[in-house]
Amino acid sequence: MKVNKKPAVSVGGASSEQPVLVVDKISKVYQTNSGSLIAVDGMSFSVNPQEVVSVIGPSGCGKSTLFNLIGGLTPPSSGKISVSGMPVNGPHPSISMVFQEESIFPWRNVVNNVAFPLEINGVPKAEREEHARRFIQMVGLEGFENHTPSQLSGGMRQRVAIARGLASEPKLLLMDEPFAALDEQTRLLLGDKVIQMQQELKQTILLITHNITEAIQLSDRIVVMSYRPGRLKRIIDIDLPRPRTSEIVSSEEFGRYVAMIWDDLREEASKGMAAADSARATT
């Protein structure tokens, strides 16, 4: 087990080993009625090609804010983000976002949802549908191409969202708690699907989560965030053998990682709970 206290930001170096994502001293301050709120405070880390990195932290610590900063939907207050060496100033074609909320379009069937990014880029209908089918198959939804979202389960809908994210063939797939609304079993099985997909595409992934099991199951490295201000607490390397399946959850190694991350998180989560309690007390 290796624990990096300091985030390693390797800028430059050999072009093949150039990180896909570099987050450099990024901060976000929200101006609210009750003053300014530091949601993300000077975070730095990078994600290398084909790596799966998770960002974990208690509810309200600024994970979605970080997600929106990297996705270019929210401008940072300070700091820089770059993808494959190019600066991110707004939504970037090399990044696909899978949102925390249910985000597939209820008025489109599965194929047309998955083909949406290609449609936006002007890919002809036949071509983009064929392309979409490939990713629908990859997330295990073949046979459901013509179903509407209302005919699918919650887990299937999130898989459609992931397929849509993959369809634009991004350098970085950015996911914000994609399985948060699902039950534990579905979550573990979907984790297996994501691992399979990642292996097949060699996809670089940044996954945001508050689920320890999910983070360890899927990641090469885990970025632990602190609560208010949202800072980088530490980065943990996960040295579990690959390919992994959900069976790994019951291994002893796995348990040690859980204990270690929980140790970090407990402190932060209790800060979060205390803050929520005092907020409730004052209102």
Ligand X SMILES: Nc1ncnc2c1ncn2[C@@H]1O[C@H](COP(=O)(O)OP(=O)(O)OP(=O)(O)O)[C@@H](O)[C@H]1O
Give the N- to C-terminal CA distance of the chain in Å, as an integer: 45
How many CB atoms neighbour CB 171 within 10 A? 18
Residue 73 contacts other proteins per CB under 8 A: yes
Is there binding between residue 196 and Mg ion (CB under 5 A)?
no
Kindly indicate which of the ranges 5-13, 66-74, 185-193, 210-218 contains the residues binding other proteins, using the contact rule CB under 8 A.
66-74
- Range in contact with ligand X (rule: CB under 6 A) among 32-40, 102-110, 123-131, 186-194: 32-40
Cβ 209 to ligand X shortest distance, Å: 9
The CA distances from residue 117 to 89, 101, 120, 165, 267, in Å, are 19, 18, 5, 8, 41
Crossing angle between the packed helical segments 125-138 and 154-167, to the nearest 10 degrees: 130
Q: Are 106 and 148 in contact (CB under 8 A)?
A: yes
Among 97, 111, 141, 235, binds other proteins (CB under 8 A): 97
The verdict on 86 binding other proteins (CB under 8 A) reads: no
The answer to whether residue 64 forms part of the interface with Mg ion (CB under 5 A) is yes
Out of 27, 54, 65, 96, name the contact with other proteins by CB under 8 A: 96
User: Out of ligand X, other proteins, Mg ion, none, which partner does residue 210 contact, by CB within 5 to 8 A per kind?
Assistant: ligand X
Per-residue binding letters, 109-128, with other proteins (x by CB under 8 A):
-------xx-xx--------
Q: Determine if 65 is a binding residue for other proteins (CB under 8 A).
A: no
Q: Are 266 and 212 in contact (CB under 8 A)?
A: no
CA-based nearest residue to 197, from 151, 260, 276, 140: 140
The yes or no reply on residue 178 touching ligand X (CB under 6 A) is no
| Sequence-separated (6 or more) residues with CB below 8 Å from residue 19 | 10, 11, 46, 47, 48, 49
